[in-house]
Amino acid sequence: MDAIGDQVEIGILVYPGAQMAAVHGLTDLFAVANRMAADLGARRSPLLRVCHWAEMPGQPLAVSFDSHPQAHHRPRVMIIPPSLTEEPGPDLIDRFCNDLRQWHREGALLVSVCVGVFFIAASGLLDGRSATTHWNFAQSLAERFPLVKVEANLPLLEDGDIITSAGLMAWTELGLKLVERFQGQTLAAETARFLAVAPVHAMPGPGSVFSPRLDHGDEAVLKVQHWLQSTGAREVNLALMADCAGLEQRTFLRRFRSATGLKPTEYCQQVRVGRACRMLEFTNRSIDQIAWGVGYQDPGAFRKVFHKVTGLAPGEYRKHVVGPAG
C-alpha cells in the first residue's frame, strides 16, 4: 500500500456546479472504508481523512469540511468531481489552476471525474500526456487543450500521479481504487460489498498499474517523478534525471531510491510497462509496435522487462484483459 503513517488526507474540490452527489458519495464511501477497517481490526490500515475544499465569500480556497478536524492540511489526493450542469468555462477553471499546480508540486495525486479533467488540463499538468473524459466532452477537451492527448475510449486512465475517468458516475470506482491503493484490496472489496456496488477488478500481474510513492517530501525527486510521468520515461538516462533534480549523480541515486523505494532504472521500467499495458488493452498494435512506442528499440528486451514487472508475457497480458479474440 502507498501510505506512510496512520492517515491519508483526501481532498475534494467543491467548485460551483460540482455534482454534490459525487462529493457526498465519496465522503460516505471513505467513511465506510474506515469503518470496515475498524471492524476487521486492520490496525495497520491508515485512516482516510476527507476534506472538502471550497471558495468562501471574500476568502481564498479553504477547507469547508473536515471528517477528522485538524489544523494542518496537506492533501495526498485531490479529487475534482463531475458537474451536472455543463462543461466548466475558462473563468471558473482558471481560478483553481495555481492551487492544483501547488498540490501536485507537493506530491498530491490528482484525480478527475468526467469534466473534472478540464481543471487539470487548464493547469498545464496534462500537456503532452494522455487523459480521458466523458465522450460528450472529448472533442471540446481536445479543442480547448490541444497539447492533451484525449483518449475518450478509455473509461479510466491511471498515469502515475494523475488519474482521469470518463463516466459521470465513475466516482464510485475511483473511490474504491483509492481505498485499494491506501488500505488494500481486502478493504476495497469489503467496502464495495457493503455498498452493493461493483468491486474493483484486480488486474493481472502485480505491476500492471503503477502507483508511485509521491508523499515522501523530497521535492527534487518529486520533480523528476513528474517529469518521467509526463515524458513516459522515454529517452532518459541517469545524467538527465540528476540534472533535472539539480543533484550530483551519486546523491540523486541515493535520494531517489530512499524516496521511491526503487532504482531510477526500475522506476522507468514501471512507467513504460504501465503505458504498454494500456496499449495492450485498448489498441490493436502489435507487441513490437508497442515496444517501440514506449521507448524500447529492442522488442526482445521489452518482453523481458514486461514479464519481470507484471509476471506475464505481453501476449498473455492482452489475453487476460481483453480475451483471446482481442
Q: Are residues 283 and 167 in the same domain?
A: no
* Strands 109-113, 162-165: pairing kind: parallel
Q: With respect to residue 150, please indicate whether it lies within any of the assigned structural domains.
A: yes
Q: Are residues 233 and 145 in the same domain?
A: no
- 99 has a pLDDT exceeding 70: yes
Position 320 confidence tier, pLDDT thresholds 50, 70, 90: confident
Find out whether 109 and 164 touch, Cβ atoms under 8 Å.
no
% the chain with pLDDT above 70? 94
**Paired residues of 48 in beta bridges:** 8
- Neighbour tally for 142: CB within 10 Å: 17
- 5 has a pLDDT exceeding 60: no
Q: Are residues 183 and 317 in the same domain?
A: no
Cα-only R_g, the chain: 19
Q: With respect to residue 118, please indicate whether it lies within any of the assigned structural domains.
A: yes
Written as one string, the DSSP assignment of 47-83 is: EEEEEEEEEPTTS-EEEEEESS--S----SEEEE--B
- 1 has a pLDDT exceeding 50: no
Q: Are residues 141 and 234 in the same domain?
A: no
pLDDT digits (tens, 9 = 90+) for 146-168: 999 998 888 889 888 999 998 87
- Taking the C-alpha atoms of residue 228 and residue 234, their distance in angstroms, rounded to an integer, is 8
pLDDT digits (tens, 9 = 90+) for 59-95: 889 999 999 998 899 999 999 999 987 889 999 999 9
CATH code of the domain containing 272: 1.10.10.60
Overall number of domains in the chain: 2
CATH code of the domain containing 33: 3.40.50.880
**Alpha carbon of 136 to those of 140, 153, 168, 170, 296: distances in Å?**
8, 12, 11, 15, 35
**Paired residues of 159 in beta bridges:** 162
User: In the prediction, which pLDDT does 41 show?
Assistant: 79
- 109 has a pLDDT exceeding 90: yes
- Neighbour tally for 163: CB within 10 Å: 26
Q: Are residues 261 and 176 in the same domain?
A: no
pLDDT digits (tens, 9 = 90+) for 202-217: 544 434 467 888 989 8
**Average pLDDT of span 186-203:** 80
Q: Are residues 56 and 164 in the same domain?
A: yes
What is the span of the domain harbouring residue 305?
Answer: 219-322
Q: Are residues 56 and 187 in the same domain?
A: yes
User: In the prediction, which pLDDT does 206 show?
Assistant: 38
DSSP 3-state of 109: strand
- 112 has a pLDDT exceeding 90: yes
